[in-house]
Structure 1
Amino acid sequence: MNPVHERFLRYVKIDTASDQHSNTTPSTRKQFDLAKILFEEMKAMGLDSVSLDDNGYLMAELPGNIKAAPVIGLIAHMDTSPDFTAAGVNPQIVKNYDGGDLLLNPDQGIVMSPADFPELLKYIGQDLITTDGTTLLGADDKAGIAEILTAVEYLMAHPEIPRGDLKIGFTPDEEVGRGADHFDVEKFAADFAYTLDGGELGELEYENFNAASATVKFNGRNIHPGNAKDKMVNSLLLSMAFNTLLPAAERPEHTEGYEGFFHLNEMKGDVEHTELHYIIRDHDMAKFEARKALMTDAAAYMNQRYGSGTVELSLTDSYFNMKEKIVPVMEIVEAVKGAMEAVGVKPLIKAIRGGTDGSRLSYMGLPTPNIFTGGHNYHGRFEYIPMASMDKAVEVIVETVRRFAEKAV
């Protein structure tokens, strides 16, 4: 079996789900289960300066053979999304996919169909790795880890390929927005980096959402419903009224491309107290600020109508569009684009409708665009990855490294 596939199949069986409700770093101790395995694996490969810190950040170095070449970082994250279980991942290999429905789990009747996921039809005749329908797969981002280490191993086995110094970084907690919180950019010491954290074959991304989170608390007054006339203030109904002040057409299920959104992703409460949690997204900074202002105005209106203190709004910026930091060094994007074309991959340059570690790292002084891993349908039971796409990701890494080194000669 190709080393990248073998690595991936091993890694996904280790549960590394992060936890957005935890205040620790990493947010779950089980992320160390994979980190420690990778630590030993990288030491056994012969990489230099292999380190794993108390926060779960794993780094290593492969010295180059062209000292004038730039120092390139390769980054992926070890955690998987808490949105769907990662306990007991049982990956399945579908040989020579024929374009029909895939029965992922006969016992539970779980089927993945191209009628629901038409992208499957791109991979007729290819081998796929899928779930068994009961867990996510973990290609986001264990595919990136496997691809990076396989590319590095290939470069070590082929010293005739010119390369500059390479820095490898594996992070915890990307899925809960904290992957760069304790990333030591100075220690990493790369001129720029790439996250291997994208989707389908060919994706190359240097734009992402500006992102914020909002917590909205509603304070009501509970009175026995039999005696509630002119006395009860139902915080549940207040929260519903607040939500109607936000544009219904600007929700994730109605948007695409560069269209931003308001997303209500959690709610809890009773008559006395209700709490809503939103995420706010937009690629355009002016529109992003306008979205936050709209939410602020909605809270002010509610307080004016129902009384001061009825609504408490807390807004927190999460990350910003890395485009501002990448455009001045667009040669790092163009190099990957050329590498893809050289190995027979059509570049698919698009804006991320989300974020990566690279979005925050770019604002920390490390420009970091994003490269595909090959996966589809992340964060759920229908996640899959074509094995050939993983092979191509390895080739793109190697070719990108070679191009920068040859240019420096």
Structure 2
Amino acid sequence: MSKFEINNISDFSVSERFQRYVQIDTQSDASSPTCPSTEKQKNLGNLLVEELLALGISDAAMDENGYVYATIPSNSTKKVPTICFCSHMDTSPDSSGKDVKPLVHHDYQGQDLVLPDDNSIIIKYSEHPDLANQIGHNIITASGTTLLGADDKAGIAEIMDAARLLMKHPEIKHGDIKILFTPDEEIGRGVDKADLKRLAADYAYTMDGEKAGTIEDETFSADGATLTIHGVSVHPGFAKGKMQSAIKIASAIIEALPQDRLSPESTNKKDGFVHPTNISGTVEKAEIHFIIRDHLTVNLVKHESELEAIAKSVVAQYPNSSYTFEVKEQYRNMKEILDQYPQIMEIGIEAITRAGMKAERRSIRGGTDGSRLSFMGLPCPNIFAGGHAFHGKQEWVSEQDMQKAVLTILHVASLWEEK
């Protein structure tokens, strides 16, 4: 099928699928030790398997850990690399994903969008620059009390619709196409138990990006750090000169963090940061959990050293107290791997161009499943899914941008066979 014929496809189901999927609560839970972290993620997984089987994709299945695998067999006589498309099923713990009510704002004309279930939630044209590219589009939002779930159910709906179209149009030549839907991406555990031998793909693309036309080959490198403060607990009635509250020491450490740099609130582009995500404890013992981020992996050690120096300086003012500082690797900048396989990005960029957009190569101030997949031996950049304002009640996505993402998937599959 020629590029014109692919672009001539008009019978999309992506919007309808997306609106169904977001109504299934799949919020992940970082405090849970299980995989998936919440059993309810399997509700979506089971539905996706049913729909894949109904499309004629006979090996679709979900494993005990909530990972969905499927294969669209090659219809080419050529030897073509096996390509995987991946999205995650969970939504962020930052905002409720229960009882999502998707709303379609047809023929958007640049107005502010007031969400009906909470009129204080307003998606303002002036605060969302990408709305300028959406005139005439159908914008999908939640109703004001939940997030929408475009991160990453837009990606799931796009892969599912592309799978339907590949099965419907055998004239689109392609090699083996693998589908992978993962749990727990939002809590950093999205590929912990992914079975890459079962997947058996050569290269992959996550559909988890933002603005239409973008493709990302660079993420943060990421570590997590736990700072534990051991204070001195004494009955408060007899505490003078004796008590050293771990809670107050922890608060002093957070207060001492830089505010004009090395903080999410004061950094952008490729600036790194140190960010406290959770604090808990008692007078005797308190813990602060941090995420440390930078596009240059070597800078993580610098940021961690500065953080520990701040902690050491504060705790030194409390001679009977102490601290421990533990760092764990989370993921690394996928560019370190993807630069070794330039054809993956070249085909992604050409696919976006063939789908009628100007391709924009970006870096992410965050991470994706593709970050870790790349270092696990499956090189994997990130293609746009079309969602915006992730993890909050102002999240939105364009129906037309999701359709463009479907076309991009079809072109990626076709280009690997063509080339």
- TM-score category, normalised to shorter length: over 0.9
- 8 Å contact 1:222–1:234 — kept in the other structure? yes
Partner Cα distance (2:393, 2:221) in 1: 28
1:287 alignment counterpart: 299
The structure 1 residue matched to 2:253, chosen from 233, 237, 242, is 242
Partner Cα distance (1:35, 1:56) in 2: 7
Matched, 1:278 2:290: yes
Q: Which amino acid aligns with 1:297?
A: A
Superposition deviation, residue 307 in structure 1? 3.7
Partner Cα distance (2:120, 2:203) in 1: 46
Q: Which amino acid aligns with 1:271?
A: V
Partner Cα distance (1:150, 1:341) in 2: 20
Superposition deviation, residue 244 in structure 1? 4.3
1:260 alignment counterpart: 272
Partner Cα distance (2:295, 2:301) in 1: 11
Size of the aligned set, in residue pairs, is: 407
Superposition deviation, residue 116 in structure 1? 2.8
Partner Cα distance (1:146, 1:286) in 2: 37
The structure 2 residue matched to 1:133, chosen from 115, 131, 144, is 144
Q: Which amino acid aligns with 1:346?
A: K
1:228 alignment counterpart: 239
1:49 alignment counterpart: 59
1:313 alignment counterpart: 325
Q: Which amino acid aligns with 2:242?
A: K
1:8 alignment counterpart: 18
Q: Which amino acid aligns with 2:300?
A: F
Normalised by the length of structure 2, the TM-score is 0.93
Superposition deviation, residue 222 in structure 1? 3.5
1:59 alignment counterpart: 69
Superposition deviation, residue 247 in structure 1? 2.4
- 8 Å contact 1:198–1:204 — kept in the other structure? yes
C-alpha RMSD of the superposition: 1.7
Alignment of 1:83-232 (within 5 A): 83-105=94-116, 108-225=119-236, 227-232=238-243
Partner Cα distance (1:186, 1:106) in 2: 46
Q: Which amino acid aligns with 1:121?
A: A
Q: Which amino acid aligns with 1:160?
A: E
Gaps of 5+ in 2: 1-10
Q: Which amino acid aligns with 2:403?
A: D
Matched, 1:354 2:350: no
Q: Deviations over 1:214-238 (max 9, x none)?
A: 1212222234555433212122221
Q: Deviations over 1:313-372 (max 9, x none)?
A: 221111111111100101100111011112211112111111111100101100010000
Partner Cα distance (1:235, 1:272) in 2: 6
Q: SS where residue 47 of structure 1 aligns?
A: coil
Q: SS where residue 250 of structure 2 aligns?
A: helix
Matched, 1:386 2:413: no
Superposition deviation, residue 45 in structure 1? 0.6
Superposition deviation, residue 275 in structure 1? 1.9
Q: SS where residue 279 of structure 2 aligns?
A: strand
Q: SS where residue 98 of structure 2 aligns?
A: coil
Alignment of 1:67-78 (within 5 A): 67-78=78-89
Q: Which amino acid aligns with 1:16?
A: T
Q: SS where residue 316 of structure 1 aligns?
A: strand
2:48 alignment counterpart: 38
Q: Deviations over 1:368-395 (max 9, x none)?
A: 1000000001111000001110000011
Kindly tell me: are residues 34 and 241 of structure 1, through their superposed partners in 2, closer, same or farther at Cα, counting changes over 3 Å? same
- 8 Å contact 2:117–2:145 — kept in the other structure? no
Moved more, 234-243 or 253-262: 234-243
Q: Deviations over 1:43-73 (max 9, x none)?
A: 1111132121100011000111224111100
Runs of 4+, deviation exceeding 6 Å: none
Normalised by the length of structure 1, the TM-score is 0.95
2:3 alignment counterpart: none
Superposition deviation, residue 290 in structure 1? 1.1
Kindly tell me: are residues 130 and 28 of structure 1, through their superposed partners in 2, closer, same or farther at Cα, counting changes over 3 Å? same
Q: Deviations over 1:277-330 (max 9, x none)?
A: 111100101111211222233344445553476212221111111111100101
Kindly tell me: are residues 297 and 107 of structure 1, through their superposed partners in 2, closer, same or farther at Cα, counting changes over 3 Å? closer
Q: Which amino acid aligns with 2:73?
A: P
- 8 Å contact 1:302–1:311 — kept in the other structure? no
Q: SS where residue 168 of structure 1 aligns?
A: strand
Kindly tell me: are residues 308 and 70 of structure 1, through their superposed partners in 2, closer, same or farther at Cα, counting changes over 3 Å? farther
Q: Which amino acid aligns with 1:382?
A: Q
Partner Cα distance (2:314, 2:230) in 1: 11
Partner Cα distance (2:139, 2:311) in 1: 48
- 8 Å contact 2:118–2:144 — kept in the other structure? no
Partner Cα distance (1:169, 1:99) in 2: 36
Q: Which amino acid aligns with 1:64?
A: S
The structure 1 residue matched to 2:412, chosen from 378, 400, 403, is 400
Partner Cα distance (1:107, 1:117) in 2: 19
- 8 Å contact 1:213–1:316 — kept in the other structure? yes
Partner Cα distance (1:53, 1:117) in 2: 39
2:380 alignment counterpart: 368
